[in-house]
């Protein structure tokens, strides 16, 4: 028994809190974060320690992207990049996620799909696009002869996300969270070397293009990282609004034409 709860009941309660977005334990004793710290004793004239001006530490949200850039630059293959992301501790989303969601598919693929962030199913399995939206994505691209299980660059897909960890309650990742993970995404693209990038949804467009408004952006070819880029509706949006499937089909045909051309 755990404070009147059986182990199974306690585990169920913990699972419920996780699904509700709880990602940090709170102390039972209140903490006054406005309390002034005690002043350090002044060093006397006889002290042998010389005062040294210490550099001012950057806030985490400002220093984290630079740390990520240095770590990503040292990665020469996908395994090294995955390991680097796994030990990167500046993003708070990592604390509440069960698994790192890195990528799936054939790294030799001509087409690289970039999604937004993992959902519940992706967090459980550690793979991108495996829930209902992922099943629809597989059907969509299969219709033009592309698959994450394709064995050749011409019929294969490689899939990743802007964020490798699930945000609580599937909320959109913040600007700071995206900024600190962008160096890893840039290196991911450089290592895979796709011919074409497909951006699924607003978060991917915001991260890669610095623009939002997927209804306006979708279907219009642009460029990023020296590669052709096609924004598309996220499959989850198609599940919510079936009328968008016509636009998605037009975008898939445009992608196929680009590949054939």
Q: Contact, 237 vs 230, CB < 8 A?
A: no
Continuous segment of H or E residues that includes residue 100: none
Ordered domains of the chain (ranges, CATH): 60-260 (3.40.470.10)
Beta bridge partners of residue 5, listed in sequence order: 2
Three-state DSSP class for 222?
Answer: strand
Could you read off the pLDDT of 226-237 as tens digits, one per residue? 999 999 999 999
| Count of residues making up the chain | 261
**64: Cβ–Cβ under 8 A, 6 or more apart, which residues?**
90, 91, 176, 179, 180
Could you read off the pLDDT of 6-30 as tens digits, one per residue? 666 666 666 666 666 665 666 666 6
Question: Quick one: tokens of 11?
Answer: 């585990």
The DSSP symbol for 146 reads: -
| Phi/psi-derived region of residue 168, left when phi > 0, alpha when psi is between -120 and 50, beta in every other case | beta
* pLDDT over threshold 60, residue 143: yes
Q: Is 211 exposed, middle or buried (0-12, 13-18, 19+ CB in 10 A)?
A: middle
In the chain, the percentage of residues whose pLDDT exceeds 70 is: 76
When pLDDT is cut at 50, 70 and 90, the band that residue 89 belongs to is very high
Q: Any idea which of 49-58, 115-124, 143-152 has the lowest mean pLDDT?
A: 49-58
Q: Is 216 exposed, middle or buried (0-12, 13-18, 19+ CB in 10 A)?
A: exposed
Predicted confidence at residue 63, as pLDDT, reads 87
When pLDDT is cut at 50, 70 and 90, the band that residue 56 belongs to is very low
Other CB atoms within 10 A of residue 75 CB: 19
Could you read off the pLDDT of 154-172 as tens digits, one per residue? 999 999 999 999 999 999 9
Beta bridge partners of residue 12, listed in sequence order: none
**pLDDT greater at residue 31 or residue 151:** 151
* pLDDT over threshold 80, residue 4: no
**pLDDT greater at residue 255 or residue 35:** 255
Other CB atoms within 10 A of residue 78 CB: 17
Other CB atoms within 10 A of residue 188 CB: 25
CA–CA gap between residue 139 and residue 8 (Å, rounded): 38
* pLDDT over threshold 60, residue 60: no
* pLDDT over threshold 90, residue 151: yes
Could you read off the pLDDT of 203-222 as tens digits, one per residue? 999 999 999 999 999 999 99
In the predicted model, what is the mean pLDDT of the chain? Answer: 87
């Amino acid at each position: 028994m755990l404070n009147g709860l059986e182990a199974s009941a306690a585990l169920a309660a913990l699972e419920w809190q996780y699904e509700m977005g709880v990602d940090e334990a709170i102390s039972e004793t209140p903490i006054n974060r406005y309390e002034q710290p005690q002043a350090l004793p002044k060093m006397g004239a006889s002290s042998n320690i010389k005062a040294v001006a210490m550099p001012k530490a950057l806030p985490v949200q400002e220093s984290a992207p630079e740390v990520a850039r240095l770590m990503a630059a040292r990665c020469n293959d996908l395994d090294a990049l995955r390991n680097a992301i796994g030990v990167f501790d500046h993003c708070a989303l990592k604390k509440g996620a069960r698994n790192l969601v890195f990528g799936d598919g054939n790294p030799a693929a001509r087409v690289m799909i970039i999604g937004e962030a993992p959902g519940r199913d992706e967090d459980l399995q550690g793979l991108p696009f495996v829930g209902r939206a992922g099943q629809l994505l597989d059907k969509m691209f299969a219709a033009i002869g592309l698959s994450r299980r394709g064995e050749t660059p011409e019929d294969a897909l490689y899939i990743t996300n802007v964020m490798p960890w699930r945000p609580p309650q599937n909320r959109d990742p913040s600007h700071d969270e995206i900024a600190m993970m962008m160096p890893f995404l840039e290196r991911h693209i450089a290592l895979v070397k796709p011919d074409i990038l497909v951006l699924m949804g607003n978060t991917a467009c915001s991260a890669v293009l610095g623009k939002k408004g997927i209804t306006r952006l979708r279907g219009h070819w642009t460029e990023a990282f020296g590669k052709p880029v096609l924004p598309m509706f996220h499959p989850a949006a198609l599940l919510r609004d079936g009328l968008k499937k016509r636009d998605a089909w037009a975008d898939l045909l445009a992608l196929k034409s680009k590949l054939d051309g």
